[in-house]
Structure 1
Amino acid sequence: MRRPRTALAMAPAAAAAVLDEPALAALRRVCELVPGPALDDLGSARARAVLRNTEVLVTGWGCPPLDAAVLATAPRLRAVVHTGGSVRGHVTDECWARGIEVSSAAGANALPVAEYTVAMILLSGKKVLERAREYRAARQVEDWLTVPANVGNYDRTVGILSASMIGRRVIELLRQHSFRILLHDPYVSAAEATHLGAEAVGLTDLFACSDIVSVHTPLLPATRGLVSRDLIASMRPDAMLINTARGAIVDQDALAEATAAGRVRAVLDVTEPEVLPAGHPLWEHDNVLITPHLAGSQGTEWRRLATAAVAEVARWAAGRGFAHPVPPESMGRSA
């Protein structure tokens, strides 16, 4: 197998987190890895010298844009293998124009986000956080025969907003449970939704008919504020909104009013801005759980990203193409 000359381009912290020594050793077995730290300034003298003969860039969080000026110093660059999810921050139109092949570990990163989402769906159905708080205050076990009939996960309706890579993994993981799954995605037909294990519905029906709505749409100009005041107002009493996508997709003012009134509950792993100001009302509501953008890969899960990247470099070096390519036409509707 040919061993293409390969360089790392990402923030030092990203390189240290994702590519530990075993991962680097695995990478060296399938390519000629440029020694030294990852490139985080592609205009430096060292970067220009490295890029001159680099065929593959393994990128990560903090990689600078691969614009025309950078690509002019990398005449042999043929492939980009991203250890994270979205490549929107660094893969430019100039890359596509040059015919550079691009791969992403978005699929590997989708799994922990989907696992987080399913965990929150199950916890919300049993109202674990609220009941734990009440138990701590009362210091006595509730009479389980008098638990309200709306507690539990059997036969509840979960609405998935967007059949993105993460949305599809959530549907897959939910299939083993007793949920009715609704899906809204304008790019997915009713037949495809059925094949995934969901029922295709309109956007208004998704919010009006679901006990839990989970947001998985990418942030694009068309999706900014998509979860509007009217949609939030249409949600069932005591319904749950889960957002692991981007904060700007949701009208947070409307959500704050709805949660303050006790009409809906929310789990937010993302907000706009991130972090919310100290005085923001969403911090104060007991029916809102805000987590610090932790659903994506962390800790041991970074090893999955590294493994995916090494496998893609090996496939490309062997002439077999990427298993997880990013086609240029997908950029208009992906994160």
Structure 2
Amino acid sequence: MGARIHRTLLAASALERLPRVADADTGLLVTDYRSADPELLARTEVLFTHWGSPLLDEDALGRLPALKAVVHAAGSVKQHVTPAVWERGIAVSSAAAANALPVAEFTLAAILFANKRVLESARRYRREQAAYELLPHFAGHGNYRRTVGIVGASRVGRRVIELLRPFDLDVLLYDPYVGPDEAAALGVRPLPLAEVVAHGDVVSIHAPELPGTRRMFDAALLARLADGATLINTARGSLVDTGALVAELRTGRIHAVIDVTDPDEPPAGSALYTLPNVLLTPHIAGSLGNELTRMAHWAVDEVERYAHGHPFAHGVGPQELSRSA
């Protein structure tokens, strides 16, 4: 993993359980397999990884002849697990399900705030520094019988759907892999993407980053958002055409809650920083602070399962990666 996340996990005592379930030195950090102790690598059976992990390509695996498993204490493994890992039959686990929890919680808050026009009201109150007529301002707003469109029944998408159940909201879903029976079990109404976007008072993106999903929210799809609708993106910035989104936002007819962008950091002077109908955050929906400890505990649980000869509870395979982030 990267040095910064390693220091953070140590400071939070997130790794203190690991030596109890494995022969592990939590103070040891490998950031480059070529410069690591070759004798140590040669007898390593399990890699415990996190953000910033070096690539596990054929060269790296050649230095890890005893490697049997990779346990990732974070979300996607796409940044370091290569096809060579699957070819060698190495088991892989991810704490993506743990990382999905805070993203879903952030999304729930964004949905409820969007329908209530909380940010817009706060800006106006701060600007005027005086009470204003609430009933005219809130006409047509609120969280009763509003329609929420979920794009992607991913781990996060499914958790958002679950969190929305106690509220008086109608939930639509677009996911090409979810059939009518599964949608009924989830308690959502499945519709084509264009219809979900057109009917949603709030549309929240939870699709994976794949070649076929790049800029799926293009100018034509964004134009289908209803006047006053809010687009939420906590998935990947590449799923939205940033230029087309900014153009639509400039008209003032829609709102956006954007936690991920393409590029990862909008350039200085980007309208996303200043448009009044945008809440822009620097990728904070995922695990941060003490939420990192939860991911670490999930990963240590997986190491413990491996040590007892049990299969991973959160195993990842190549087929799953073709449809997930």
Name the TM-score, length of structure 1 as normaliser.
Answer: 0.94
Three-state SS of the structure 2 residue aligned to 1:32 is: coil
Corresponding residue for residue 193 of structure 1: 183
Taking the aligned partners of 1:21 and 1:37, their CA distance within structure 2 comes to 16
Residue 69 in structure 1 maps to residue 76 in structure 2: no
Deviation at 1:251, TM superposition (A): 1.2
Three-state SS of the structure 2 residue aligned to 1:276 is: coil
Residue 33 in structure 1 maps to residue 28 in structure 2: no
Three-state SS of the structure 2 residue aligned to 1:22 is: coil
CA contact (8 A) 1:34 1:50 kept: no
**Structure-to-structure mapping, 1:203-282, within 5 angstroms:** 203-282=193-272
Residue 151 in structure 1 maps to residue 141 in structure 2: yes
Deviation at 1:236, TM superposition (A): 0.6
**Structure-to-structure mapping, 1:76-91, within 5 angstroms:** 76-91=66-81
Bigger Cα displacement from structure 2, 136-145 vs 173-182: 136-145
Q: Residues 299, 116 of structure 1: CA spacing in aligned structure 2 closer, same or farther, 3 A cutoff?
A: same
Corresponding residue for residue 14 of structure 2: 23
Corresponding residue for residue 304 of structure 1: 294
CA contact (8 A) 2:47 2:70 kept: yes
Taking the aligned partners of 2:26 and 2:156, their CA distance within structure 1 comes to 35
Taking the aligned partners of 2:312 and 2:236, their CA distance within structure 1 comes to 28
Q: Residues 226, 245 of structure 1: CA spacing in aligned structure 2 closer, same or farther, 3 A cutoff?
A: same
CA contact (8 A) 2:100 2:286 kept: yes
CA contact (8 A) 2:30 2:36 kept: no
Deviation at 1:263, TM superposition (A): 1.2
| AA matched with 1:113 | V
Corresponding residue for residue 4 of structure 1: none
CA contact (8 A) 2:228 2:253 kept: yes
Deviation at 1:35, TM superposition (A): 5.8
Unaligned runs of 5+ in 1: 1-9
Corresponding residue for residue 163 of structure 2: 173
Deviation at 1:24, TM superposition (A): 2.6
Taking the aligned partners of 2:315 and 2:226, their CA distance within structure 1 comes to 40
CA contact (8 A) 2:18 2:26 kept: no
Corresponding residue for residue 59 of structure 1: 49
Question: Could you report, residue by residue, the CA deviation over 1:240-298 in whole angstroms, capped at 9, with x for unpaired residues?
Answer: 00001111110111111111111110010011112111122222210011101011000
Taking the aligned partners of 2:272 and 2:92, their CA distance within structure 1 comes to 39
Corresponding residue for residue 132 of structure 1: 122
| AA matched with 1:140 | A
Taking the aligned partners of 2:64 and 2:263, their CA distance within structure 1 comes to 36
Corresponding residue for residue 294 of structure 1: 284
Corresponding residue for residue 320 of structure 1: 310
CA contact (8 A) 2:208 2:236 kept: yes
Taking the aligned partners of 1:292 and 1:87, their CA distance within structure 2 comes to 21
Deviation at 1:30, TM superposition (A): 0.3
Bigger Cα displacement from structure 2, 57-66 vs 143-152: 143-152
Count matched residues: 325
CA contact (8 A) 1:19 1:306 kept: no
Unaligned runs of 5+ in 2: none
Taking the aligned partners of 2:134 and 2:26, their CA distance within structure 1 comes to 62
| AA matched with 2:55 | P
Corresponding residue for residue 104 of structure 1: 94
| AA matched with 1:32 | D
Deviation at 1:314, TM superposition (A): 0.4
CA contact (8 A) 2:12 2:290 kept: no
Question: Could you report, residue by residue, the CA deviation over 1:186-210 in whole angstroms, capped at 9, with x for unpaired residues?
Answer: 0111211121121111011011110
